[in-house]
Every structure is written in C-alpha cells, then in structure tokens.
Amino acid sequence: MLWNRIRQAIYAALTVIGFVWTNYYLVQFTIATQGALTLANFLNFDIATFIKQVYANPASSFIGVDVSIASLCAILLIVTEGRRLKMQLWGLYIAAIFLVSLGFGLPLFLLMRERKLTKSLRLAEDTPGSDALQTNT
C-alpha cells in the first residue's frame, strides 16, 4: 500500500506540474501572438500560428511528432484501461489531453487509475473468502 500512495503522490505532482508548466508556455504564446493576456485574446487563440510554430524547425517538429504519437498511445491506454477497470468518466482524461496537454491529462488518468486499483484491492481484501485473505492465512 505504501507504493500505491507514493505513486499517487508522484502522479498528483506531475498533474500539477503538467498543468502549470505547459500553460505557462501557452500564456507566453498568447502574449507573443496577441499582444497581451486577456480573456478575449486567450479565447481568440490562433491555432494556425501555433501549429506553424510547432513545426517551424526540425527540433520543434521532432517534439511535435513525438508528443502526437505519445498522445495517441495515452489515448489508447486510457480507453483500454478505463473500460477494463470500469472507471467512470474515463473520456474526460482524453478531453484533458486535447484541451490542456498530454502532460496534464495522462498523469491525471494514471492518478485516478491508481486510486481505482487501490480501492479494488481494499475491496478484495475485505471480501470473505477472497484470494487475498487466503494467502495471508
């Protein structure tokens, strides 16, 4: 159980870091392309310029392609694990990847997955005649 809590703490920290750090650069992009950070400027996000800048040179193109492939893998993981574990609202983690970032959506999913696994393990241990109890006797 200790490792479950450690993993949950790491995933929670990465979720916060993934939100703050990626959005810091999104704010910088908005200021650079719109002139100021206002709600109107943020809502008028220039996606065409953003994509052009992602693929502006070979180094940024490498990162763009790498993150795109990693996002597809994360989505596949979220769909399969979300269904397998019968997680509620697993589609929200996919939306989080598209609306915020992979660095936010994936660790958030992994945190909630770890919590679900921990809860399932506790329920299995509390069930009379379960394998977990039989191995401990």
Biggest CA-to-CA distance, the chain: 68
Q: Is 131 a residue whose pLDDT tops 80?
A: no
Q: Which of 25-34, 51-60, 116-125 comes out lowest in average pLDDT?
A: 116-125
| pLDDT value of residue 54 | 94
Q: Is 15 a residue whose pLDDT tops 80?
A: yes
pTM: 0.84
| Phi, psi (rounded to 5 degrees) for 5 | -70, -40
b/e map 13-48, b = 16+ CB within 10 Å: ebbeebbeeeeeebeeebeeebeeeeeeeeeeeeee
Residue boundaries of the structural domains of the chain? 2-124
Cβ neighbour number for residue 88 with a 10 Å cutoff? 10
Higher pLDDT, 129 or 6: 6
Query: What is the C-alpha to C-alpha distance for residues 110 and 88, in angstroms, rounded to an integer?
Result: 14
Query: Which tens digit of pLDDT belongs to each residue from 95-119?
Result: 999 999 999 999 999 999 999 999 9
Query: Which tens digit of pLDDT belongs to each residue from 26-52?
Result: 999 999 999 888 889 888 888 999 999
In this prediction, residue 129 has a pLDDT band, given cuts at 50, 70 and 90, of low
